[in-house]
Amino acid sequence: MSWDFISNLLLASVRMATPLIFLSLAELYSQRAGLVHIGLEGLAAIGSLVGFLVSLITGSPMLGVLAGALAGILVNMIFAYATISLCAEQIVYGMAINIFAPALAAFIYRVYFGAGSTLVQVTLMNNLSTTLGITSDNFLLKLLLDQTPMVYLAYALVIFTAIYFNKTKSGLNYKAVGEYPKAAATLGINVIGVKYIACIICGALAGMGGAFLTTCYSNTYVDGNVAGRGFIALAAVIFGRWSGGGVLLACLFFGFCDALQIRLQVGSFGVPYQFFQMIPYIATVVVLALIGMKKAGPKGAGKPYLREDR
Amino acid sequence: MMKKLFALLLSLAMVLSLAACSSGTADTDAAATAPTEAPASEPVADADPTEAPAEAPTDEAKEFKVAMICDSSISDGGWGMSCYNAMVDAAAEYGWTTEVSDMIAQSAYYETIVTYCDLGYDLIYAPGNQYTDAVLQAAEEYPEVAFALLNGGTSTPEQAVNGNVTSLLPDAQQVGWIAGALAGLMTETGTIAFIGGMELDTTVGKYNGYAEAAAYVGEQAGKTVTTLDVVYSGDFSASDKGIEFAKAMIDQGADVFFGDASAVDSGARQAIDEANAASGSVSIYDIAQPSDLLGQNECIICSQVTDNASLVGLCMEAVENGTFGGEVIYGTLQNGVLSAGAISDLVPAEIQEQYLAYLDQMIEGTFMQ
């Protein structure tokens, strides 16, 4: 196995992990406020479409990302109102978002482009190396510079999240809402307000994750391009033990497994391709077994909060 | 009040979801001017679909309808787009109304088909071998509906108990030959690549034809041409997988690509264009299929073209005549269904000449003899 193979594999892992990081952070912020959100796939789908359309119309991928975030927030307000104000079942509404949002994205696409079948392509966000005019075959330089600003943002958000939840009073208050909201309320924390803020952050990050796919990764929009990443993000939060650093490692691990199966398929080695396609799933089972099922998540996650409830 | 409003909003959301499940109607203008004369000939297996369509149906009141199902997007810039356009073109020619459901999951193949059957569609057009089981099941339950299975098996029509299934079968080996011959001539590294969506018989046939034609042509030119092992993305919409596969294959030295994976191919072309841009010259190429996509991406040097519209048109003609079903309609270079599209200026003139000579050999049946 050559160094070229390993370095290209690592670069591909970073590429494939980035949308997962946005989605996993979205889930982390949601669960830390006591909201289990399984609708990330839907939020990312609408973010992907809106990001693509705005990027196409304005010619600015950055505006596309912002619009994708806004779209994610708007759609997630359905989830927020239903689960926070109406105390509805979070899993059910998460699934409703997963059905509704991709269909809405497909609907908007058809309305905008009609029933035509022309492949529409947009200009992708430039890598930092392109912006700076630096070209190099050095692995470290490629790893550090051959990335879009969104990649740096993803890693910056991980660092911010780790500090926020562990080192700030506001972050501890936020976590308290997800752990035991009634106790948090007795301390004067606005539980409902925090939960709504969590939904805004979750929607924005999930929308950005989706928009990343069409503004930084692939220059076309295809229905279904989120391809299960919303569910992988759910697993990444559990693997990452509900912490910023853990989530990052989990996402890199999933990205690595997917990149590995692709590179091994190409390398062939005389092994049936189905074996390589199994790698991400086998790795998931193995890691789950190693980490164990010890509950480490917010204790109030998934439970509706009724202020008058005893 | 707020709860009622919210319930109303959710209801609206569900309606929108349902509306989006169907991908819109491409009602052809020609539907309003349906042909009126009786057809002149019956469709026959291995007929020449390039001939002008036979004349029109006798029943002026009858409005024929065709529905297409597709598991990839019809705006994928590849397979889905081409098949959809084929249906629309054929419908325009024969005066049919069209409908399409794309991006449908495997678990929804059958349900989508029978929904169209219940809605009174005359012809169900399923462009892919993967729909065989769903088509056969629906064909048994709806004997009055015609089913056209593009890339269906040679024995599939026999398996339909009501005789209402026709396989449209472009010759997969010849499809591979058309791309492989050019790949063999154009490769400078001696390594070429193929990306598949799923391991279908037709995909394997195309890969084998591609590899053997490239090796043969390379040998004639005094070079060894190796095709990397076929890879499969597992679905047809993961353009990101196409990007990653192409990057990995370029790292392995591949400099000519061909594929059978819909939007995945579009992703591969994006990665090839990026690699060419990074190197400052176009030295990695792609051969598109199944329609002429020259100009869509800078890296495309030619396309393998399948005239699916003619094949679908033959089915429409047979439905109008009441003679549909139970046959295999082949698409070959010889009957004009298969061909090579326009060739890019990136292909030197002498190579273009050699390539056209090989195409002639394929038509004459002397290629690789």
Question: Could you tell me the CATH number of the domain that includes residue A212?
Answer: 1.10.3470.10
User: Tokens in use for A8?
Assistant: 């290209």
B251 close contact with A: CB closer than 8 A = yes
Residue A271 lies in a domain: yes
Q: Has residue A55 been placed in a domain?
A: yes
Q: Would A139 be classed as within a structural domain? A: no
A117–B266 C-beta distance less than 8 A? no
pLDDT, greater one: A300 or B328: B328
Which of chain A's residues have a Cβ under 8 Å away from the Cβ of B21? 103, 106
**Segment B88-100 mean pLDDT:** 95
* A207 in any annotated domain: yes
Q: How high is the ipTM of this complex? A: 0.87
| Angle, CA B178 vertex, CA B316 and CA A269 arms, to 5° | 115
> What does the buried/exposed string (b/e) look like for B309-343 if buried means 16 or more CB atoms within 10 Å of the residue's CB?
bbbbbbbbbbbbbeebbebbbbbbbbbebbbbbeb
Q: Does residue A140 belong to any structural domain of this protein?
A: no
Nearest CB partner across the interface for A110, out of B23, B199, B245: B23
Print the domain residue range for A214. Answer: 3-118+148-291
CATH code of B173-305+340-364, in short, is 3.40.50.2300
Q: Residue B188: left if φ>0, alpha if ψ -120 to 50, beta else—which one?
A: alpha
| pLDDT of res. B235 | 83
Average pLDDT value over all residues in chain B = 85
**Taking the domain B23-171+308-331, which CATH number applies?**
3.40.50.2300
B266 contacts chain A (CB < 8 A): yes
Q: How far is CA B261 from CA A146, A239, B74, in A?
A: 28, 33, 13
Query: What value does the mean pLDDT take over residues B199-209?
Result: 93
Average confidence (pLDDT) over B42-61: 45
For residue A256, what are the CA distances in angstroms to A76, A96, B42, B159, B354? 30, 31, 57, 45, 44
CB A187 within 8 A of CB A121: no
Inter-chain contact B75–A78, Cβ cutoff 8 Å? no
The verdict on residue A307 lying in a domain is no
φ/ψ of residue B66, rounded to 5: -125, 140
Quick check: A262 and B17 CB within 8 A?
no
Residue B36 in this model has a pLDDT that exceeds 70: no
- Report chain A residues whose CB lies below 8 A from the CB of B74: 115, 117
Q: Taking a contact as any Cβ pair under 8 Å apart, which residues of chain B between 180 and 209 contact chain A?
A: 199
A26 neighbors A201 (Cβ within 8 angstroms): yes
- The one-digit pLDDT tens for each residue of chain A (310 residues) are 688 889 989 999 999 999 999 999 999 999 999 999 999 999 999 999 999 999 999 999 999 999 999 999 999 999 999 999 999 999 999 999 999 999 999 899 988 987 666 778 999 999 998 888 887 878 888 888 889 999 999 999 999 999 999 999 999 999 999 999 999 999 999 999 999 999 999 999 999 999 999 999 999 998 888 988 999 999 999 889 999 999 999 999 999 999 999 998 887 667 788 888 888 888 878 887 777 666 678 888 888 888 776 5
* A259 at interface of B, judged by CB pairs closer than 8 A: yes
What does the angle CA A232 – CA A233 – CA A238 come to, to the nearest 5 degrees? Answer: 100
Of A5, A119, A259, the CB nearest to B77: A119
- Same topology between domain B23-171+308-331 and domain B173-305+340-364: yes
- Better pLDDT: B132 or A287: B132
Q: Where are the domains of chain B?
A: 23-171+308-331, 173-305+340-364
Q: What is the pLDDT of residues B56-70, one digit of tens each?
A: 445 556 899 999 999
Query: Taking a C-beta distance cutoff of 8 angstroms, is the pair A75, A81 a contact?
Result: no
Q: Exposed/middle/buried for B170, CB within 10 Å: 0-12, 13-18, 19+?
A: buried
Q: Which residue has the higher pLDDT, B31 or A126?
A: A126
Q: pTM of the prediction?
A: 0.83
Tokens describing residue A183: 């106790």
Distance of CA A212 to the CA centre of its chain: 10
Q: How many domains does chain A have?
A: 1
